[in-house]
Chains A and B, each alone.
Chain A
Amino acid sequence: MALLEAHHIHKRFGDQVVLENITLAFEENRLNGIMGPNGAGKTTCFNVLTGRYKPDRGRIVFDGEDIGGLPPHKIARKGIARSFQLMNLFDQYTAIENITLALPEVRARGMSMMHDLSTDGETGDKAAGILARIGLAGKERVEARDLSYGERRALEIGVALAAAPRILFLDEPTAGLGAEATGSIAELIAEIRRDLTIVIIEHDMQFLFGLADKITVIHWGQVIAEGTPASLQEDEWVKRSSLGGLA
């Protein structure tokens, strides 16, 4: 059984249909890719699955529970984390503070008004460990706004990772990165995928085909094709489309 399933999802904005009868399933501990041209509805699909938008119709089932229409914070607490296409960090906080606030144990005592995070060695060690895992050891005290673009991309993933998710949605994690930084992000994702279900939207086809167990192609708000990277390369629709050359 898949960890997360979306059944017949519809989403429209005004008279524009953005998602039409989308059905997806993401199995546990697999890396799933979503690809498609600009405006295909990929990010809207992410936004619906993670609670930013309510679906107009359809069901979203996570680990057997219907989560369709729940607000983002409730969905996040169930173990669904995401990164954003446009980076969403706490720019005035240090790298370690960005990670710390995402830790479930900090969230659990978020209402504490007398506790002091700076004296909590266990939390600090855990956050520092995550920073080291994403290649930002030594950057603990650097404010997020002062990190390089590639480091910010890594921190964005680190923040999502710190929430200890069961499924992680990454929206174009290599957007705007050069070849070297893209390689670093690919290494990072390859490292974290071992014990995590990951869903990635990505325009860099080489990146996606090199990592994904399964890829779903979305176009005009519909699922056009789905399968392993190898099977997709043989798919007639993909071959005929502009994506064929990339695949």
Chain B
Amino acid sequence: MSDARNPVGRWITLPILASFAVFGTLPYWVEAVGLYQYLGLEIMVWVIFALGYNLLLGYGGLPSFGHGAFIGIGAYAFGVAQFHFIPNLWICLLAAIIITGLCGLAAALLVSRRRGIYFALMTIAIGQVFFFIASKWTSVTGGEDGLLNIQRLPVDFGLFSIDIQDTASLYYLAFALYAVVVVLLWRLVHSPFGRILGAIRQNEERVRFLGYNVFIYKAIAFILSTMVAGLAGGLFAMAQEGAYIQIMNLQWSGTVVLMTLIGGGLVSFWGPVFGVVLYFIARDILGAYTEAWLLWFGLMFMLLVMFKPEGLAGIWRDTVGGLVRRKPAAAPSPHPNQSPAE
């Protein structure tokens, strides 16, 4: 595992490297296991989205049920920047992140004084507001038709550029951005900011009485989470070669919650990754047998909530933890700072 005193270990850990190995080689083996390249791309985009979302749900204990709106805003912002400003990949992605972050800021100012069910209800309402704005502002979003023909812009490095028209190339762009996001989020949740966010989840009142401005922490977490959603939205727009209103509806907001919970986002940084992979594989494998695959997936979700609310990450932790406990315990660190959501 990571050595907290090793500067590299603070940024890059074994689980991070393992995820790089799996996702970095995915285009080479995904077809060999009966799946297809675009599925890998979908997984990558949603993993980024869900990891950012888990900053709120898993670390801050802030259940946003309107987060689908923000991946949608990112997709629209990417398309609008491409059509009306400069068709440059980096500028369009930056526009997606910043515009989504600004929408996140507006939402955060409204919801960050709330918690629990009130927070959740307000995020639903805000998600619906953004949904209806997107559906009615047809001159910008294309309304029900969406924005069509969004291009997969070349990765421009100044001296040379890389074409990403094919899915495997776009996948590698998404993977590179995933690598950046996962390292930054990992560092973030282990920073003082992340630890305080975790403390807010456990006992918001106590944090306030220790002198922390809880509102600011919650608002920043919300904005950062929406910025990651904006990045995922930009990638999604390129993956789909369009931006559509459907992504902003309540169903997709619920889906990211489902993915995060089923994977074990409440107990693990990696929970959303497990959840996204399980969701898309279930969709394709169960979906090949029955149109009612969501029914079976929903039943699986219910069983997990009833018998293992920690999700797949909890099952993994218990299994691996059980094996580790059989070995002699290591000497305790004099300055432990273990996370409840490693």
Chain A contacts to B: CB under 8 angstroms: 50, 52, 71-73, 76-77, 81-82, 84, 88-94, 96-97, 100-102, 104, 106-107, 109-121, 123-125, 128, 140-141, 159, 163
Of the candidates A92, A96, A125, which one forms a contact with B336 in the assembled complex, judged by CB atoms under 8 Å apart? A96
Q: A101-B195, A101-B199, A141-B332 are in contact. Are A118 and B212 (CB under 8 A)?
A: no
Q: Are A90 and B202 within 8 A (Cβ)?
A: yes
Nearest residue (CB) in A for B193 is A113
Residue interface mask B178-202, A partner, CB < 8 A = 1 = 0000000001101111111011001
Of the candidates A89, A93, A117, which one forms a contact with B192 in the assembled complex, judged by CB atoms under 8 Å apart? A117
Q: Are A163 and B4 within 8 A (Cβ)?
A: no
Asked whether B161 is an interface residue with its Cβ less than 8 Å from the other chain, the reply is no
Q: Are A93 and B198 within 8 A (Cβ)?
A: yes
Q: How far is the CB of B6 from chain A (nearest CB, A)?
A: 9
Residues on A with beta carbons closer than 8 Å to the beta carbon of B338? 94, 97, 141
Q: Are A115 and B337 within 8 A (Cβ)?
A: no
Given A52-B209, A93-B199; 13 other pairs, CB 8 A cutoff? A50-B209, A71-B208, A72-B209, A88-B205, A90-B199, A93-B340, A97-B336, A101-B207, A110-B196, A113-B191, A123-B335, A128-B335, A163-B211
> What is the CA–CA distance of A82 and B210 in the complex, to the nearest angstrom?
9
Asked whether B328 is an interface residue with its Cβ less than 8 Å from the other chain, the reply is no
Residues on A with beta carbons closer than 8 Å to the beta carbon of B202? 90-93
Chain B contacts to A: CB under 8 angstroms: 4-5, 10, 187-188, 190-196, 198-199, 202-203, 205-214, 217, 220, 332-338, 340
A-B pairs, 9 with minimum CB distance: A124-B335, A76-B211, A118-B337, A92-B340, A118-B4, A88-B206, A77-B211, A90-B202, A141-B336
Residues on A with beta carbons closer than 8 Å to the beta carbon of B332? 140-141
Residues on B with beta carbons closer than 8 Å to the beta carbon of A119? 4-5, 10, 335
Q: How far is the CB of A48 from chain B (nearest CB, A)?
A: 14
Q: Are A100 and B199 within 8 A (Cβ)?
A: no
Q: Are A112 and B205 within 8 A (Cβ)?
A: no
Residues on B with beta carbons closer than 8 Å to the beta carbon of A107? 210-212
Could you tell me the dominant secondary structure of chain B's interface residues? helix
Q: How far is the CB of A238 from chain B (nearest CB, A)?
A: 32
Q: Are B191 and A118 within 8 A (Cβ)?
A: no
18 A–B contacts from the bound complex (CB under 8 Å): A91-B203, A92-B202, A94-B337, A97-B337, A101-B207, A101-B210, A104-B211, A107-B211, A110-B193, A115-B191, A116-B187, A116-B191, A119-B4, A119-B10, A119-B335, A128-B334, A140-B332, A141-B332
> What is the CA–CA distance of A94 and B202 in the complex, to the nearest angstrom?
13
Of the candidates B5, B192, B209, B212, which one forms a contact with A112 in the assembled complex, judged by CB atoms under 8 Å apart? B192
Q: Are B209 and A82 within 8 A (Cβ)?
A: yes
> What is the CA–CA distance of A106 and B220 in the complex, to the nearest angstrom?
18
Residues on A with beta carbons closer than 8 Å to the beta carbon of B207? 101
Q: A50-B209, A93-B202 are in contact. Are A111 and B336 (CB under 8 A)?
A: no
Nearest residue (CB) in B for A82 is B209
Q: Are A117 and B336 within 8 A (Cβ)?
A: no
Q: Are A73 and B335 within 8 A (Cβ)?
A: no
> What is the CA–CA distance of A112 and B220 in the complex, to the nearest angstrom?
12
Residues on B with beta carbons closer than 8 Å to the beta carbon of A118? 4, 190, 333, 335-337
Nearest residue (CB) in B for A104 is B211
Q: Are A72 and B208 within 8 A (Cβ)?
A: yes
Nearest residue (CB) in A for B194 is A113
> What is the CA–CA distance of A93 and B195 in the complex, to the nearest angstrom?
9
> What is the CA–CA distance of A97 and B192 in the complex, to the nearest angstrom?
11
> What is the CA–CA distance of A101 and B192 in the complex, to the nearest angstrom?
8
> What is the CA–CA distance of A88 and B220 in the complex, to the nearest angstrom?
24
